[in-house]
């Protein structure tokens, strides 16, 4: 998608308010994306996504795991048909390779299946969802990072994925991948928020031109595994009161000022709008110092990816000690 312009009607001004970052493939990615991962996606999700497009959202995050690819694809088609955007090229769609398909030879077919569900010719970004592989009956197996990445590169060369990247990769795994990648990852999507700052991952990504995108930027508040560390933080409450903003806006603004992109999930029209209104004000140095005092804890531990048969025998191994 273009860094700016190309939008039609009243959405144009709003869309311009979400800035873009340039990926190492030369493509522009809006720094704020609409996260569609949810344990209970509503039946009217396509209408909510279309509403988000009208508000100015241009970046949509899905995955084969989420069961929301059809809803995203339907909304993309509706957005073009209704003139909310001039063409599909005005939208940025991310999807992800699930662990059952994280095997050499399975990557390209899995991408084609995702594209089929989305009704699209290409993805803007295709991510390896976890550095994990599973076989039939969900049994965990060794993960062939290089074999899977070679197939991701083929997806990129074929033009089916304009950019490719990873998710849930530790700093150590990023370094391993970067050492052999012919097409370097454009993005590493990881859990990141004021309560889990991901400094090591951010450092290795910054050195190598890889964009970090935060998932659970609000701590996955309300989900089974999520944390209250963001939305119920006393520090954020104080900063929010001082700035006249909401706690969620302070949390998202902090990520933006760190140079981290983010995919936030809200299926609520008011909160979708609120989450966009973070690009025309700043946190003070005092605010940021207070935020740095927030205790750190990873919420999404990935304990289900640890087993004696799989790649990782402990959480230490899964995260290379970065826990």
Helix (H) or strand (E) holding 173: helix 171-180
Give residue for tokens 């209970």. 40
What separation, in Å, do the N-terminal and C-terminal C-alpha atoms of the chain show? 36
Number of C-beta neighbours around residue 135 at 10 A: 13
Name the minimum Å distance from CB 254 to ligand NAP.
13
Name the minimum Å distance from CB 303 to ligand NAP.
14
Number of C-beta neighbours around residue 197 at 10 A: 19
Name the minimum Å distance from CB 129 to ligand NAP.
6
Cα–Cα distance list, 126 to 70, 96, 103, 204 (Å)? 16, 5, 15, 20
Please tell me the distance from the alpha carbon of residue 270 to that of residue 200, in angstroms, as a whole number: 34
* Cα angle: 48, vertex 161, 107; to 5 degrees: 105
Q: Does 301 bind ligand NAP (CB under 6 A)?
A: no
Please tell me the distance from the alpha carbon of residue 70 to that of residue 118, in angstroms, as a whole number: 5
Name the minimum Å distance from CB 186 to ligand NAP.
15
- The DSSP call for residue 285 is H
Tell me the torsion sign for CA atoms 277, 212, 223, 196.
negative
Considering beta carbons, is residue 127 or 160 the nearer one to ligand NAP?
A: 127
3-class state of residue 308 by DSSP: coil
- The DSSP call for residue 275 is H
Q: Does 274 bind ligand NAP (CB under 6 A)?
A: yes
* Numbered residues of the known binding site for substrate: 129
Applying CB under 6 A, among 23, 219, 239, 240 the residue interacting with ligand NAP is: 219
- Candidates 107-115, 131-139, 156-164, 271-279: pick the segment binding ligand NAP (CB under 6 A): 271-279
Name the minimum Å distance from CB 86 to ligand NAP.
25
Tell me the site size for ligand NAP, rule CB under 6 A. Answer: 29
- Candidates 80-88, 142-150, 218-226, 283-291: pick the segment binding ligand NAP (CB under 6 A): 218-226
Q: Which residues are catalytic?
A: 66
Q: Does 218 bind ligand NAP (CB under 6 A)?
A: yes
Site for ligand NAP in 49-88 (CB under 6 A): 61
Applying CB under 6 A, among 263, 276, 278, 290 the residue interacting with ligand NAP is: 263
Applying CB under 6 A, among 25, 95, 216, 227 the residue interacting with ligand NAP is: 216
Q: What is the binding site for ligand NAP (CB under 6 A)? A: 35-38, 61, 129, 167-168, 189, 215-223, 246, 248, 263-268, 271, 274-275
């Amino acid at each position: 998608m273009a860094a700016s312009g190309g939008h039609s009607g009243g959405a144009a001004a709003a869309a311009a308010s979400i800035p873009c970052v340039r990926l190492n493939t030369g493509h522009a990615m809006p720094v704020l994306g609409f996260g569609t991962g949810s344990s209970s996606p509503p039946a009217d999700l396509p209408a909510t996504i279309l509403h988000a497009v009208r508000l100015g959202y241009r970046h949509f995050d899905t995955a084969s795991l989420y069961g929301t690819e059809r809803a995203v694809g339907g909304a993309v088609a509706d957005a073009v048909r209704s003139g909310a955007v001039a063409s599909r090229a005005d939208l940025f769609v991310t999807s992800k390779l699930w662990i059952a398909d994280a095997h050499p030879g399975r990557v390209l077919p899995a991408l084609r299946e995702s594209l089929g569900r989305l009704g699209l010719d290409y993805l803007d970004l295709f991510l390896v969802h976890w550095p994990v592989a599973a076989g039939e009956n969900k049994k965990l197996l060794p993960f062939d990072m290089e074999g899977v990445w070679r197939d991701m590169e083929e997806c990129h060369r074929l033009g089916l994925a304009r950019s490719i990247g990873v998710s849930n990769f530790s700093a150590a795994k990023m370094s391993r991948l970067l050492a052999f990648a012919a097409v370097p990852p454009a993005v590493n999507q990881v859990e990141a928020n004021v309560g889990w700052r991901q400094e090591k991952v951010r450092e290795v990504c910054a050195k190598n031109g890889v964009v970090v995108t935060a998932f659970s930027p609000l701590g996955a508040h309300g989900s089974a595994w999520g944390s209250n560390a963001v939305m119920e933080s006393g520090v954020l409450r104080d900063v929010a009161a001082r700035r006249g903003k909401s706690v969620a806006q302070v949390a998202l603004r902090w990520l933006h000022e760190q140079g981290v992109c983010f995919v936030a999930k809200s299926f609520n029209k008011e909160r979708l709008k609120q989450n966009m209104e973070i690009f025309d004000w700043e946190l003070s140095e005092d605010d940021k110092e207070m935020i740095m005092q927030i205790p750190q804890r990873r919420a999404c531990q990935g304990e289900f990816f640890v087993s004696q048969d799989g790649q990782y025998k402990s959480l230490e191994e899964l995260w290379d000690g970065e826990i």
